[in-house]
Structure 1
Amino acid sequence: MIFTVGGIKGGSGKSTIATNLTIWLSKQGFDVLLVDADEQETATKFTKWRERVTDGNSGYTATILTGDAVRQQVLKFKSKFDHIVIDTGGRDTTSQRAALFVSDVYIVPFNPRSFDLWTIADVENLVKEVRSIKPKELYAFSILNRADPKGSDNKDSAELLRESEVIKHIGPVIVGRKSFANTASNGLSVIEGNPVDEKAVHEISLLFSKIMSEIDVNFNVKNDV
Structure 2
Amino acid sequence: MIILIGGEKGGTGKTTLATTLAALRALAGRDVLLIDTDIQGSASDWAQQRGDSGARRVACVQKFGKGLQAEVLDLAGRYQDIVIDAGGRDSVELRAALVVAGRAYIPVQPSQFDLWTLDRMDGLVGAAQGFNPGLEARMVLCRASTHPSVGDRRDATALMADFPHLALSPAAIHDRAAYRKAAREGLCVEELRPKDAKAAEETLALYQEAFRE
1:43 Cα offset (Å):
0.1
In the alignment, is the contact (CA less than 8 A) between 2:50 and 2:57 conserved in 1?
no
Give the letter for the 1:105 counterpart: R
Q: What RMSD, in angstroms, separates the aligned Cα atoms of the two structures? A: 1.5
- Equivalence for 1:6: 6
- Equivalence for 1:44: 44
1:162 Cα offset (Å):
4.9
Structure 2 CA distance for aligned equivalents of residues 192 and 158 of structure 1 = 31
In structure 2, the residue corresponding to 1:171 is in which secondary structure?
strand
Structure 2 CA distance for aligned equivalents of residues 159 and 175 of structure 1 = 19
- Equivalence for 2:32: 32
In structure 2, the residue corresponding to 1:81 is in which secondary structure?
coil
Aligned ranges 1:188-199 → 2 under 5 Å: 188-193=187-192, 196-199=195-198
1:168 Cα offset (Å):
1.1
Structure 2 CA distance for aligned equivalents of residues 144 and 195 of structure 1 = 24
Say if 2:98 is the partner of 1:100. yes
Which blocks of at least 5 consecutive residues in structure 1 are unaligned?
218-225
Structure 2 CA distance for aligned equivalents of residues 130 and 108 of structure 1 = 14
Structure 2 CA distance for aligned equivalents of residues 161 and 208 of structure 1 = 22
Listed one character per residue, the Cα deviations across residues 179-201 of structure 1 (whole Å, up to 9, x for unaligned) are 00011101111111165311111
In the alignment, is the contact (CA less than 8 A) between 1:113 and 1:157 conserved in 2?
no
In the alignment, is the contact (CA less than 8 A) between 1:6 and 1:90 conserved in 2?
yes
In the alignment, is the contact (CA less than 8 A) between 1:47 and 1:58 conserved in 2?
no
TM-score, normalisation: structure 2: 0.93
- Equivalence for 2:59: 61
Aligned ranges 1:131-210 → 2 under 5 Å: 131-134=129-132, 136-150=133-147, 151-193=150-192, 196-210=195-209
TM-score, normalisation: structure 1: 0.89
Say if 2:21 is the partner of 1:21. yes
Listed one character per residue, the Cα deviations across residues 12-47 of structure 1 (whole Å, up to 9, x for unaligned) are 000000000001111111100000001111100111
In the alignment, is the contact (CA less than 8 A) between 1:12 and 1:145 conserved in 2?
yes
Structure 1 CA distance for aligned equivalents of residues 178 and 161 of structure 2 = 28
In structure 2, the residue corresponding to 1:173 is in which secondary structure?
strand
Listed one character per residue, the Cα deviations across residues 105-125 of structure 1 (whole Å, up to 9, x for unaligned) are 111011012411011110000
1:163 Cα offset (Å):
4.3
In the alignment, is the contact (CA less than 8 A) between 2:26 and 2:56 conserved in 1?
no
In the alignment, is the contact (CA less than 8 A) between 2:27 and 2:56 conserved in 1?
no
1:132 Cα offset (Å):
1.4
| Aligned partner of 2:128 among 106, 127, 130 | 130
Structure 2 CA distance for aligned equivalents of residues 161 and 17 of structure 1 = 21
Which blocks of at least 5 consecutive residues in structure 2 are unaligned?
none
Listed one character per residue, the Cα deviations across residues 128-184 of structure 1 (whole Å, up to 9, x for unaligned) are 1111133x5111011101111021233212321354321111122210100000111
- Identical counterparts, % of pairs: 33
Structure 1 CA distance for aligned equivalents of residues 195 and 162 of structure 2 = 35
Give the letter for the 1:80 counterpart: R
In the alignment, is the contact (CA less than 8 A) between 2:10 and 2:87 conserved in 1?
yes
Give the letter for the 1:47 counterpart: A
